[in-house]
Structure 1
Amino acid sequence: MLKGLYAWAMNLAARKTAVWWLAIIAFVESSIFFLPADVLFLPMVLAKPRKAMFYATVATVASVLGGIAGWYLGHYAFESVARPLLEFYGKLDAFEHLKASVDYETIVLLLITSGLAHLPPIKVVTILSGAANISLGLFIVTAIVTRGARFFILAGLLQRYGESIRHFIEKRLGMIAALVASALIAVYAVYIFVR
């Protein structure tokens, strides 16, 4: 499945409208959709490394705007919109558990883990932030830093290592995703245990 998604993204990245698709996917990923922007961002940067920082800017701005939309969903439309979305994705129970114990510090940690490996998915964190009445200003600053770090670090690495990293990713995509997810789950578990 990952290889098919990767091939689809490589095809989409070659289109003239790829930047618009990147913005749309980054926006909806942060509020309502499951597909991470990386599936388009990575091939676009690999195809045009000179535009890496431009693509990182587009992805960051769209992702933060999508996060703000998710915050508003959680804050003002939880019962009518956010609850059905979370039920659809099977995330309502996890969401309710998080909501009961969330504070700003936890939101920052969740933004970092979801920003690096989509654990939990960013849309859950944005909706949770609004539903838990986390300050919108603090949420925006945190989202800019964490989402910006993700896209700009990836852009820098891809720009520097380019084609060799592309072959590495293509051969080991499933293993990379599993390792990153496992590492971030371990970091999160240690944080919860120590806290």
Structure 2
Amino acid sequence: MSGNLFIVAAPSGAGKTSLVNALVSTQPQVRLSVSHTTRPARAGEIDGQDYHFVDMATFGQMRDAGEFMESANVFDNFYGTSASAVQAQLLQGFDVILEIDWQGAQQVRNNFADSHSVFILPPSKATLEQRLRHRGQDDEATISRRMRDAEREISHYVEFDYLIVNDDFDTALHSLTAIVVAARHQQRHQVNQYQSLLAELLA
């Protein structure tokens, strides 16, 4: 049985990464796609685990060769998802999560109609700004820019299948988990898994 492809997007600071990491840690069948990026690694990030950190020349070569199923320019850095790596995991039966922005989500939907997309919302603008400051990763100029861009990003929520408001973390995680588990029980997946049972029941 092939796995499901999930797109999870959100404005920076909405808690998307924390939710996705918690989901992956509790669902053995779920894998997180590791994107390629040209941005420098942040403190504590590990190459090949958090991102594949590459230079502009390498990224451009991969993009020109058609190796990415989606790529985007976000905050002056480029990000891309390896198509072959994702397909390999799906064929092994794993559900794969793409933690990408709305630009990348549009590209994936155009090429992968069966994908499931989830948009994570903050409970308020004030909470979003507070979370950005609490991370301690950005200077004031970057925080201001992220806040300005958040409204534009959030306006694309209408393109997604599901909306989750990350007010209470455990509640939001429960909702995200429910979406993933429900997708596994779609008829097209269950038919492949239980062909012999259905044949017996209908004999």
**TM-score scaled by length of structure 2:** 0.26
Q: Which has the higher contact order (CA 8 A, sep 6+)?
A: 2
Structure number with bigger Rg: 2
Structure with bigger helix share is: 1
Structure with bigger strand share is: 2
